[in-house]
């Protein structure tokens, strides 16, 4: 099931947790090396908000280096479309 389908069927609350555990791990596993090569290792550092566009705070959530960044998400989608 695609992440957007999970969002539509389960709502935002469930989408934040479940797909990130399954799809997120897959995205990081499949694309992190290429992302580091393309974006640089510093892109995933705490000083760069782990690749998030906004600073990571308790109010904004749970971002960390183990979660996929947008570039990895797009690569995942592009690969799915090609299949």
Q: What local confidence, expressed as pLDDT, does residue 4 receive?
A: 54
Place of tokens 């897959």: 26
What gap in Å lies between CA 36 and CA 16, rounded to an integer? 24
Q: What local confidence, expressed as pLDDT, does residue 15 receive?
A: 47
Looking at the whole model, is its pTM more than 0.85? no
Is residue 2 left, alpha or beta, with left meaning phi > 0 and alpha meaning psi from -120 to 50?
beta
- Each residue's pLDDT tens digit, 45-78: 988 888 888 777 777 666 778 888 989 989 988 9
More confident: 44 or 61: 44
Average pLDDT over all residues of the chain = 77
């Amino acid at each position: 099931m695609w992440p957007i389908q999970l969002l539509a069927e389960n709502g935002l609350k469930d989408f934040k947790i479940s797909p990130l555990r399954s799809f997120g791990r897959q995205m990081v596993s499949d694309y992190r090396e290429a992302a580091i090569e393309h974006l640089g290792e510093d892109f995933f550092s705490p000083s760069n908000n782990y690749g998030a566009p906004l600073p990571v705070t308790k109010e904004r959530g749970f971002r960390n280096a183990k979660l996929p960044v947008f570039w990895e998400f797009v690569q995942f989608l592009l690969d799915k479309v090609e299949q």
